[in-house]
C-alpha cells in the first residue's frame, strides 16, 4: 500500500517514519495489560495500531468508537450493538475459535446466539458483557493465545450513558490475564479525563500502563514523505510544489497524504490543488470543532472567541487570549472560568501549549477554516 493511500496502513513497509513506535508497540503487545496510543488528529494512530496487530499476528478485536451513534450522549443499546458487531467480525474471521466461543456463551442469559454471531439483550446487557469478556479470556487461555482488544478513539466512550466503561477496563486489567487492552486517542486530555488518571477513586488509578505518542512531521520529514511518496509512482513533482505544500499544510500527517493521493490521481502539481486540499481539510476540521461545540453549546460564543483570538494572534499568552475574549464579547470573565475553557480546548486537541507557555492552534487548517469565513 503506497504512502498516499488514504486508508489506514496495515504493513510495516507502508508506514512512514514510525519504526521506533512500531517496534515499541509490538513489544508492548506481548505483555502490557493497558496500552495508550496518543497523538493529535491525523497523526497515524490507527495505521500504527493496524500495522502492529498485523505484524504481530495476534488475534484482535477492534472497537472503532467512531461507529458509535451521534455526537451527544450514547445509549447503552447503541454501545452494545457496536460491541456485538466487533465481536461478530472477529468470529467470522476465525470459525474454529467461533465454534468454541459460541458454545461458551450460548447459555448466558443476556446473550442471543444466531449461527456464529451474538446479540446483547437490552435487559441484561451489562452483566452479559462481563460474561462475554470472561469467555474470550477463557478461550484465549485454552487455545494458548493472547487476545488484544483495541478501542480506537477511546475518548468517545465517555459519552455512554448509564455505564462506566472504565470499570469494565479495570475488571479486564485485574482479572483477565489473556486479554490486553489498547486505547487510542486524538483528544488526549479527554482520554485522560475519561480514565481519570489523577483520581485516586478511579477504577484504573495506579494501574501501570504503556504509552506511545505520535507527533506531527517536522518540515524535513514532510518533504521527505512527499518525495518518497511520489517516487512510489515514478513521479517527481517540482520542488516548488512540495515546499509550498509543506509550508501550507504544516506537518499534520493526514493532509500531505490527501494531497499526494489527489496529485497522483490527477497528475496535477500546482497551488490550485493545494488550495483544494486546504478547503477540504478545513471543512473536516471545522466539522470536528462543531461537534465539540455541540456538547458545550452554552459556552459556544466563548469557545469561538478563543479560537478567533488564536487565528488573529497566531501564538498568544493566557492573558492575551483572555483580553481578546473579553473585548470580543464585551464583558469580563472570571479567571477560573476562562482557564477551564482554554483547558477544554487543549484537552480536545484543538489548541496546544508550546514549550514557551504560549497557546496556538494544533492544526493550521482549522485556522484556515476561520479565515475563509
Output b/e per residue, 143-168; b: 16+ Cβ within 10 A: eeebbbbbbbbbbbbbbbeebbbbeb
For the chain, report the end-to-end CA distance as a whole number of angstroms: 37
Q: Give 71's strand partners.
A: none
| Cα(365)–Cα(362) distance, integer angstroms | 9
Please report the pLDDT score of residue 150 as a whole number: 98
List Cβ neighbours of 74 (8 Å cut-off, separation of 6 or more). 68, 156, 159, 160, 161
Domains of the chain: 12-214 (3.40.50.300), 219-269 (no CATH), 288-371 (1.10.10.10)
pLDDT lower than 50: segments of the chain: none
Q: How many CA atoms lie within 13 A of 242 on its CB side?
A: 18
Query: Following CA atoms 36, 42, 43, 47 in sequence, which dihedral angle do they give, to the nearest 10 degrees?
Result: 70
Q: Provide the grid cell at 284.
A: 473536516
Q: How far apart are CA 126 and CA 130, in angstroms?
A: 7
In this prediction the pTM is: 0.89
Amino acid at each position: 500500500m503506497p504512502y498516499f493511500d488514504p486508508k489506514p496502513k496495515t504493513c510495516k513497509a507502508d508506514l512512514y517514519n514510525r519504526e521506533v513506535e512500531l517496534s515499541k508497540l509490538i513489544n508492548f503487545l506481548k505483555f502490557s495489560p493497558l496500552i495508550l496510543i496518543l497523538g493529535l488528529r491525523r497523526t497515524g494512530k490507527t495505521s500504527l495500531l493496524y500495522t502492529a496487530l498485523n505484524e504481530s499476528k495476534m488475534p484482535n478485536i477492534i472497537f472503532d468508537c467512531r461507529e458509535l451513534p451521534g455526537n451527544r450522549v450514547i445509549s447503552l443499546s447503541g454501545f452494545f450493538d457496536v460491541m456485538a458487531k466487533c465481536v461478530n467480525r472477529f468470529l467470522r474471521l476465525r470459525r474454529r475459535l467461533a465454534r468454541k466461543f459460541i458454545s461458551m456463551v450460548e447459555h448466558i442469559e443476556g446473550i442471543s446466539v444466531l449461527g456464529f454471531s451474538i446479540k446483547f439483550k437490552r435487559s441484561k446487557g451489562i452483566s452479559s458483557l462481563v460474561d462475554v469478556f470472561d469467555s474470550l479470556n477463557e478461550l484465549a487461555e485454552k487455545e494458548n493465545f493472547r487476545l488484544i482488544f483495541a478501542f480506537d478513539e477511546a475518548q468517545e466512550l465517555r459519552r455512554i450513558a448509564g455505564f462506566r466503561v472504565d470499570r469494565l477496563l479495570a475488571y479486564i486489567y485485574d482479572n483477565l490475564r489473556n486479554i490486553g487492552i489498547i486505547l487510542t486517542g486524538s483528544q488526549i486530555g479527554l482520554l485522560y479525563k475519561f480514565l481519570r488518571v489523577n483520581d485516586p477513586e478511579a477504577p484504573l488509578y495506579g494501574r501501570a500502563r504503556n504509552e506511545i505518542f505520535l507527533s506531527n512531521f517536522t518540515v524535513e520529514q514532510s518533504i521527505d514523505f512527499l518525495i518518497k511518496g511520489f517516487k512510489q509512482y515514478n513521479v517527481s513533482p517540482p520542488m516548488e510544489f512540495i515546499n509550498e505544500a509543506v509550508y501550507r499544510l504544516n506537518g499534520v500527517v493526514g493532509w500531505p497524504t490527501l494531497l499526494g493521493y489527489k496529485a497522483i490521481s490527477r497528475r496535477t502539481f500546482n497551488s490550485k490543488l493545494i488550495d483544494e486540499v486546504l478547503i477540504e481539510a478545513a471543512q473536516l476540521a471545522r466539522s470536528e470543532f462543531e461537534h465539540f461545540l455541540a456538547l458545550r453549546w452554552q459556552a459556544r460564543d466563548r469557545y469561538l472567541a478563543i479560537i478567533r483570538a488564536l487565528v488573529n494572534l497566531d501564538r498568544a499568552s493566557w492573558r492575551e487570549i483572555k483580553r481578546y475574549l473579553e473585548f470580543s464579547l464585551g464583558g469580563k470573565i472570571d479567571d477560573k472560568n476562562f482557564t477551564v475553557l482554554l483547558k477544554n480546548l487543549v484537552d480536545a486537541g484543538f489548541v496546544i501549549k508550546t514549550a514557551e507557555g504560549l497557546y496556538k492552534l494544533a492544526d493550521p487548517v482549522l485556522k484556515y477554516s476561520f479565515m475563509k469565513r
